[in-house]
Amino acid sequence: MLSIALIGCGAIGESLLKSIRYDNHLQVAAIVVSKRSIDRVARLAETLAPGASVSENIPDSGIDLVVEAAGHRAIEAHVLPALKRGISAVIASVGALAMDDLAPRLETAATNGRSQVHLIAGAVGAIDAIAAAKIGGLDKVLYTGKKPALAWQGTPAELQFNLATLTEATVVFEGSARDAAQRFPKNANVAATIALASLGLDATTVRLIADPKASTNIHTIDASGAFGELNLTLSNRPLSDNPKTSALTVYSMVRTLQNLTGTLVI
């Protein structure tokens, strides 16, 4: 039985709790949330994670694994200290690794604590294939992320375009995966994931598109190298609680957790 501290209980966190509720190998022992969310999440936990503590901090003992679904700042506040304490972590907010020196700090914390960081594939696929292709040598990796226009609300795209009146698919960003992840922390985690698995944050090219005609989150990877070529398109249904986030992200998180407790894993 893996005893989990879930960090964040928004769209992903709540959906994750529903998905793993009856898994005999996983026990959510703690849910770590901001002060303002404690009452709301304590009510949710009564049915979705009975017995879990709900507080602002990871308990001092009894936790085997930290699962982050809270955003970039929570990694700094909760994941880094947990890794140093010897508690491994599963991270959803992979784009955070494009910030400052967070990636090497996570590595140092995990080395010192003899723990491990698992970055989920999240809303995208073929991470295994591009990571393998990298070993033979990659020439080009382009990620294109297209979402409904309103999924770009609250992002820098809103300052440049009137999202509510767009009539055509519009490129809202073109550049490196590092810039994309830094400027669109809630919409470009997969850009960072693809980059970290392939050519790196600075050499992986990203294009982000707001499309008023789209009803799904469409992720495309075009890669080429010594292995040949890869062209992948996913058309993901968004979570009802958060149109920025695809349901596949939750399933990817569940799969990661199941692989940590399973005996025959794929």
Ligand X SMILES: NC(=O)C1=CN([C@@H]2O[C@H](COP(=O)(O)OP(=O)(O)OC[C@H]3O[C@@H](n4cnc5c(N)ncnc54)[C@H](OP(=O)(O)O)[C@@H]3O)[C@@H](O)[C@H]2O)C=CC1
Ligand Y SMILES: O=C([O-])CC(=O)C(=O)O
- Partner touching 12 among ligand X, ligand Y, none, CB below 5 to 8 Å by kind: ligand X
Residue 74, annotated as binding a ligand = no
Supply the minimum distance, in Å, between the C-beta of residue 186 and ligand Y: 6
Q: Are 125 and 118 in contact (CB under 8 A)?
A: no
181 with 119: CB under 8 angstroms?
Answer: no
Q: What residues contact residue 199 under an 8 Å CB cut-off, 6+ apart?
A: 134, 138, 140, 141
2 burial via Cβ count (<10 Å: 0-12, 13-18, 19+): middle
Which of 4, 12, 126, 163 is close enough to bind ligand X by CB under 6 A?
12
Among 74, 109, 209, 210, binds ligand X (CB under 6 A): 74
Smallest distance, ligand X to C-beta of residue 248, A: 8
| Residue ranges in 51-70 that form contacts with ligand X under rule CB under 6 A | 69-70
Site string for ligand X, 22-41 (x = CB under 6 A): ----------xxx-xx----
Residue 249 in contact with ligand X, rule: CB under 6 A: yes
> Smallest gap, in angstroms, from Cβ of residue 248 to ligand Y?
7
Residue 30 is labelled as binding a ligand: no
Rg (CA), the chain: 18
Q: How far is CA 184 from the centre of its chain?
A: 13
Number of residues that bind ligand X (CB under 6 A): 32
Interior/surface letters 199-234, b for 16+ CB within 10 angstroms, e for the rest:
bebeebbbbbbbbeebeebbbbbebebebeebebeb
Q: Let me know: does 208 contact 228? Beta carbons within 8 Å.
A: no
From ligand X, ligand Y, none, interface partner of 88 (C-beta below 5 to 8 A by class): none
Residue 242, by phi and psi: left (phi above 0), alpha (psi -120 to 50) or beta? beta
How many residues appear in the chain? 266
Least separation in angstroms between CB 156 and ligand Y: 14
Applying CB under 6 A, does 93 fall inside the site for ligand X? yes
User: Among residues 5, 20, 48, 123, which is the contact residue for ligand X, using CB under 6 A?
Assistant: 123
Sign of the four-CA dihedral 106, 249, 243, 175 = positive
Report how far Cα 80 is from the mean position of its chain's Cα atoms: 16
Residue 237 found at the interface with ligand X (CB under 6 A): no
Residue 236 near which of ligand Y, ligand X, none (CB within 5-8 Å, type-dependent): ligand Y
Which one of ligand X, ligand Y, none interacts with residue 261, CB within 5 to 8 A by kind?
none
Q: Which does 188 bind (CB under 5 to 8 A by kind): ligand X, ligand Y, none?
A: ligand Y
Instruction: List the catalytic residue out of 25, 72, 78, 219.
Output: 219
Active site residue 219: yes
- Give dist(CA 159, CA 139) in Å, integer: 34
List of residues contacting ligand X (CB under 6 A): 7-13, 32-34, 36-37, 69-71, 73-74, 77, 92-94, 120, 122-123, 185-186, 189-190, 193, 242, 245, 249
- The residues carrying an active-site annotation are 219
For the annotated binding site for NAD(+), the residues are 123, 189
